[in-house]
Chain A
């Protein structure tokens, strides 16, 4: 296997940000970049770096995936494809300019002349690498010894091609992520569609098989108590089960169902953070967060308003009923340290959960 390439599949609450920060900052003789998908993620890494090292060491740089691509893969050699400086990114949620052929560089890749579509950046990067005989990779090898890519479950489309090329380079690549939390995707390109969402784990294993990297699991959680871990694990039966390292006992620990009529008393007593599937879920207590937006956050207690499929799952206990968005459900459940409460109808009959009783 080239270098020490590795993919760390880390359960929620296993301290993966700390892991990256300590590893990258701890070896001053190896220049490193820490890259993540969202601005929030970048801020989180930066905050963690300050809290553990008091400053951002000069050998380390922190950035988002898009800015990293623009700075090191698009702009340095862009003029082999396109002359006007690529100034920024035009964010799209679906597929951009689907019906314009790739050889029409201007309109396939760009909205305004200087703005590249967000879903095409890594495709453009791959094209530049191919055209220049790998010049951006060679350049990167002179700048960084190690790359840490957080939230790697969000990588999609041509990102995966790029990552594979990086794994074959002299740069040591560390991907950190949790396929169970693949709530975002960096793009919606049709390339590599079969590895979308939680299926990214298949790609990880393919790379391991091709001896490009090792896949490690960090199957423990510093955050959630064991019963929360167990409950969340049901949604990904193929993944190894999670071991809790949280041994705190508060007298109200684990996963519960709360009848609507008891909610206000429950909230009064335990002060949980409200989580909901989306804004469509009305009449909720407190200041709710959507499932996806809660990613990366930690609370002592949560109260969750389930959406349709999750309600059905709670009733039947069958995974098939839980819908497609297992990633969001997994994220929602794994936010709490001590207790998770699901809001259910007063007359609900549940498969396994115990009702919270005053």
Chain B
């Protein structure tokens, strides 16, 4: 079973999202706050009708509804043009395979004849009367009456879903959501339980129960209970005794703790815990077909992350894996071709790039692409010396290094500019190009004609053709004296200094970068870092 498409409406950060997924690996990247985690949560919710590993109905709260939708709803009532109560809708469209025919039908917002599951959080018609009273007082109205909402969980065939209805299982691993030891333990146990077969679970429960009986028949315990029984009437009229707790149904879960090298798993480092959870979920092949994995890089050292990613990569061939990450390392390891750039509305894959550009990046597994994709903003420059000068200029202007602001300065070489801009254009990434005019400003304009005027892309260059590259530009703005001082030189004329600078580009740029002295920043660079 694979999910081909996810539609989410009004769920938390996701107002209206429609994402196509690949059948194997999906690495979801995107800015913070775009709702990557929410997307995973929504998928999990629609697959299991669970929130925080509990029945979703018990976990309903007003903030599950998109704040914007709620705001609109409230405002519409205050304006006297009432809108219907906002409804959460999550639809999972499965690959159209015969074994899922039972879930097939057109009960989805696309009226597509495919198998799938939909989960709606909507006003319960039984509460129409209460709802009417609730919205009548528009003065007081400030939200959505979630207590009058119900969850409608059904297949695309219109048949009610149950947690065991789907022939396949999904596991969600979200290490960041675990707040304390108790929760962590419960969480690990759940995954261990997912990993065990039904028979193993029953065996474990039986052994546990047997152990309780052994406890009771132990001589010491019998003696103690006899003694306690003798006290009947002193403390209470009933007979007091000790026994192991037999109240919970499958009580091994409360008394059994997974151990790692004889250390309780809850006491093992968080990173190792996470790795174990992820590996367990991957290993439980029988039950897990879809694995939702949130930011595996959390709490892991680089070496351990490397091991974990190798493991994921090697063992999840026949599963659909949906991973969110902020780590270019993770993305690079899992393969840039699996990237799914999510912007809160839709997911974009490299398949949508111009074929030439896609080929370029596939050949060159570029760490740099990822840097751009994962950054808040990228400044693309021609070479290492340009990179250093732009860094310097940025620090001089903003008081901190660009990376501290999530800004990546990437040296890509002028030939590759357009490839990067194709991605930036597709993903609507804030990208700026700093380029020389190479004595032909019109040629530069023409080269970037396709990208001029795009909202997120800026091409910065100086149109004065007498200053064709970085070095003459620096000389023009900063002047010979300051540069001599910075470089520890004493060139008597501009020509000699420029000749030196052009012949020693890298050392010159490094000296400028490392110097305490400020430079006068050429306008086209100012333009890029502003």
| B81-133 contacts to A (CB < 8 Å) | 98, 101-102, 104-107, 111, 113
Q: Give the residue name and chain of the A residue nearest to B96 (CB).
A: A142
A75-B107 CB under 8 A given contacts A85-B158, A86-B158, A135-B113: yes
**Which A residues are in CB contact (< 8 Å) with B159?**
71, 75
CA distance A75 to B102 in the complex (A): 12
A76-B98 CB under 8 A given contacts A135-B113, A139-B105, A142-B104: no
Chain A 178-217 near chain B by CB (<8 Å), digits 1 or 0: 0000000000000000000000000000000000000000
CA distance A132 to B113 in the complex (A): 10
Interface assignment of A261: CB less than 8 Å from any CB of chain B: no
Q: Is the CB of A77 within 8 A of B98?
A: no
Q: Is the CB of B113 within 8 A of A143?
A: no
Interface assignment of B461: CB less than 8 Å from any CB of chain A: no
CA distance A86 to B160 in the complex (A): 12
| A132-168 contacts to B (CB < 8 Å) | 132, 135, 139-140, 142-143
Q: Give the residue name and chain of the A residue nearest to B101 (CB).
A: A142
Interface assignment of A80: CB less than 8 Å from any CB of chain B: yes
**Which B residues are in CB contact (< 8 Å) with A93?**
none
**Which B residues are in CB contact (< 8 Å) with A85?**
107, 154, 158
Q: Give the residue name and chain of the B residue nearest to A140 (CB).
A: B101
Interface assignment of A14: CB less than 8 Å from any CB of chain B: no
Tell which of A74, A76, A135 has the most Cβ of chain B within 10 Å: A76
Q: Give the residue name and chain of the A residue nearest to B105 (CB).
A: A76
CA distance A84 to B69 in the complex (A): 23
Interface assignment of A79: CB less than 8 Å from any CB of chain B: yes
Q: Is the CB of B104 within 8 A of A80?
A: no
Nearest CB of chain B from residue A344's CB, rounded to whole Å: 54
Q: Is the CB of B111 within 8 A of A79?
A: yes
Q: Give the residue name and chain of the A residue nearest to B154 (CB).
A: A85
CA distance A39 to B408 in the complex (A): 69
**Which A residues are in CB contact (< 8 Å) with B113?**
77, 132, 135
Q: Is the interface of B mostly helix, strand, loop or mixed?
A: loop
Q: Give the residue name and chain of the A residue nearest to B98 (CB).
A: A142
Nearest CB of chain B from residue A67's CB, rounded to whole Å: 10
Nearest CB of chain A from residue B274's CB, rounded to whole Å: 36
Interface assignment of B342: CB less than 8 Å from any CB of chain A: no
A75-B105 CB under 8 A given contacts A85-B158, A135-B113: yes
Interface assignment of B21: CB less than 8 Å from any CB of chain A: no
CA distance A78 to B107 in the complex (A): 8
**Which B residues are in CB contact (< 8 Å) with A143?**
101-102
Q: How many chain-A residues does the 8 Å CB contact rule pick out? A: 17
A75 contact from B98, B101, B111, B158, Cβ within 8 A: B158
Q: Give the residue name and chain of the B residue nearest to A76 (CB).
A: B105
CA distance A71 to B161 in the complex (A): 12
| A72-110 contacts to B (CB < 8 Å) | 72, 74-80, 85-86
**Which A residues are in CB contact (< 8 Å) with B102?**
143
Chain B 45-76 near chain A by CB (<8 Å), digits 1 or 0: 00000000000000000000000000000000
Q: Is the CB of A79 within 8 A of B104?
A: no
| B141-179 contacts to A (CB < 8 Å) | 154, 156-159
Nearest CB of chain A from residue B5's CB, rounded to whole Å: 18
CA distance A298 to B89 in the complex (A): 53
Q: Give the residue name and chain of the B residue nearest to A113 (CB).
A: B125
Q: Is the CB of A76 within 8 A of B111?
A: no
Q: Give the residue name and chain of the A residue nearest to B107 (CB).
A: A79
Nearest CB of chain B from residue A35's CB, rounded to whole Å: 16
**Which B residues are in CB contact (< 8 Å) with A132?**
106, 113
**Which B residues are in CB contact (< 8 Å) with A80?**
106
Chain B 284-305 near chain A by CB (<8 Å), digits 1 or 0: 0000000000000000000000
CA distance A80 to B107 in the complex (A): 10
CA distance A139 to B102 in the complex (A): 8
Q: Is the CB of A75 within 8 A of B104?
A: no
Nearest CB of chain B from residue A145's CB, rounded to whole Å: 11
CA distance A80 to B111 in the complex (A): 9
**Which B residues are in CB contact (< 8 Å) with A72?**
157
Q: Is the CB of B106 within 8 A of A77?
A: yes
Nearest CB of chain B from residue A61's CB, rounded to whole Å: 10
**Which A residues are in CB contact (< 8 Å) with B98?**
142
CA distance A76 to B156 in the complex (A): 6
Nearest CB of chain B from residue A268's CB, rounded to whole Å: 54
Q: Give the residue name and chain of the A residue nearest to B111 (CB).
A: A79
| A108-124 contacts to B (CB < 8 Å) | none
A71-B101 CB under 8 A given contacts A79-B107, A79-B111, A80-B106: no
**Which B residues are in CB contact (< 8 Å) with A79?**
106-107, 111
**Which A residues are in CB contact (< 8 Å) with B104?**
76, 139, 142
Q: Give the residue name and chain of the B residue nearest to A114 (CB).
A: B125
**Which A residues are in CB contact (< 8 Å) with B105?**
75-77, 139
**Which B residues are in CB contact (< 8 Å) with A75?**
105, 107, 157-159
Nearest CB of chain A from residue B427's CB, rounded to whole Å: 35
Nearest CB of chain A from residue B379's CB, rounded to whole Å: 51
Q: Is the CB of A139 within 8 A of B101?
A: yes
CA distance A79 to B104 in the complex (A): 13
CA distance A341 to B49 in the complex (A): 60
**Which B residues are in CB contact (< 8 Å) with A77?**
105-106, 113
**Which B residues are in CB contact (< 8 Å) with A142?**
98, 101, 104
CA distance A126 to B106 in the complex (A): 17
CA distance A316 to B68 in the complex (A): 84
Q: Give the residue name and chain of the B residue nearest to A128 (CB).
A: B106
CA distance A78 to B98 in the complex (A): 21
**Which A residues are in CB contact (< 8 Å) with B101?**
139-140, 142-143
CA distance A149 to B105 in the complex (A): 24
CA distance A167 to B404 in the complex (A): 71
Q: Give the residue name and chain of the B residue nearest to A141 (CB).
A: B101
**Which A residues are in CB contact (< 8 Å) with B107?**
75-76, 78-79, 85
Can you list 16 A-B pairs with a CB-CB distance of less than 8 A?
Answer: A71-B157, A71-B159, A75-B105, A76-B106, A76-B107, A76-B158, A77-B105, A77-B113, A78-B107, A80-B106, A85-B107, A85-B158, A132-B106, A135-B113, A139-B101, A139-B157
A-B contact sample (17 more), CB < 8 A, given A76-B104, A139-B157, A143-B102: A71-B157, A72-B157, A74-B158, A75-B105, A75-B107, A75-B157, A76-B105, A77-B105, A77-B113, A79-B111, A85-B154, A85-B158, A135-B106, A135-B113, A139-B104, A142-B101, A142-B104
Q: Sort A-B residue pairs by CB-CB distance and give the 8 closest, nearest first.
A: A76-B105, A75-B158, A142-B101, A76-B157, A142-B98, A143-B101, A139-B104, A77-B106
Binding site for B on A (CB under 8 A): 71-72, 74-80, 85-86, 132, 135, 139-140, 142-143
